[in-house]
Amino acid sequence: MTKDEYATRVSSAASTLLYELGVEEWKKENPGENFFAFWDKVDGYDKQHEVVDGILAGFDWKDAVEILQVSEQNPDDVDSGLYEGCGWKQILACIAFEVFSWDIYAEAQRMYDENEEPTKLARYPTNDRQIGFYPKTKTYRLRTTQKQFTHACIMSDFIKVIFQEGNYFKKPPRTMDAVVFEGKITKKHQGAVVECRRIYLQGFEGRKIEELVPECEQYGMREEKKKR
């Protein structure tokens, strides 16, 4: 990857971040406010992590090395506590994740300050650990019975379907094996609908996501087909 290719990747990621944070609406409602006020008000850090995680899902140590070679950030500035005790491949991935995040933050600030509209949205990749739809979405509906509800965690921007025998909330598992459906949530009677940007695995080492998404139907989660 060349520096120009990396710059394009960072730019599209920053554009995606600003778009997801609703920067245009914010500027209309808060004329003259600086980037730092915007970032604090919209909880930019959490969304930044979500966007980077979606874009870099499935990247390996070789991809990490490419990022570290072209980024101008200093990898020594990454807090070693983030990767303490990890193997060298995980260390490289962790450092590259942070470096990429910093580059995106800097580019997002530049775009904000220069009133550059977020138009070049990044695509989320599909691999063994993730199914990416973004910038499009796919609708999934969770219909919960009392039994199924013990396997579903509904949050503001994701639904986590937990694979665990018995009641997860009474006896948490030692490992968290779950399929996560990320996107805008609308709560419905006995369940919820998610406009899914991506689906990814949490845990399930050695398993493929294409095998596990169909199994979520037993817990009440399935794709909602569009009416013709």
Is the distance from CB of 182 to CB of 197 less than 8 angstroms? yes
Regarding whether 106 and 12 lie in a shared domain, the answer is yes
For the chain, what is the domain count? 2
Q: Which of 66, 84, 113 is the last residue of a domain?
A: 113
Domain region containing 90: 3-113
Q: Which of 70, 85, 113 is the last residue of a domain?
A: 113
Neighbours of 224 (CB within 10 A): 12
Q: Which of 78, 113, 148 is the last residue of a domain?
A: 113
Regarding whether 196 and 105 lie in a shared domain, the answer is no
In a domain, 118, yes or no: no
State residue 224's pLDDT score. 87
DSSP state at residue 188: E
DSSP state at residue 125: P
Each residue's pLDDT, cut to its tens digit, for the chain (228 residues) gives 899 999 999 999 999 999 999 999 999 999 989 999 999 999 899 999 999 999 998 888 999 999 999 999 999 999 999 899 899 999 999 999 999 999 999 999 999 999 999 989 999 999 999 999 999 999 999 987 655 556 788 888 999 988 865 554 555 554 568 999 999 999 877 789 999 999 999 888 888 999 999 999 888 899 987 665
What are the Cα distances from residue 37, in Å, to 16, 105, 109? Answer: 19, 14, 11
What are the Cα distances from residue 66, in Å, to 33, 150, 189? Answer: 36, 42, 47
Helix, strand, coil shares of the chain as percentages rounded to 5?
Answer: 45, 20, 35
Regarding whether 90 and 164 lie in a shared domain, the answer is no
Taking the model in full, what pTM does it have?
0.85
Regarding whether 136 and 92 lie in a shared domain, the answer is no
Regarding whether 52 and 138 lie in a shared domain, the answer is no
Q: Is 66 left (phi over 0), alpha (psi -120 to 50) or beta?
A: alpha
* Amino acid sitting at position 122: A
State residue 164's pLDDT score. 67
In a domain, 89, yes or no: yes
Residues linked to residue 158 through DSSP beta bridges, in sequence order: 182
Regarding whether 89 and 7 lie in a shared domain, the answer is yes
Is the distance from CB of 133 to CB of 54 less than 8 angstroms? no
Residues 6+ apart with CB under 8 A from 32: none
**Six-digit token pair at 112?**
């904000």
Closest CA to 209 of 181, 171, 169: 181
Closest CA to 73 of 39, 120, 105: 105
State residue 163's pLDDT score. 80
In a domain, 120, yes or no: no
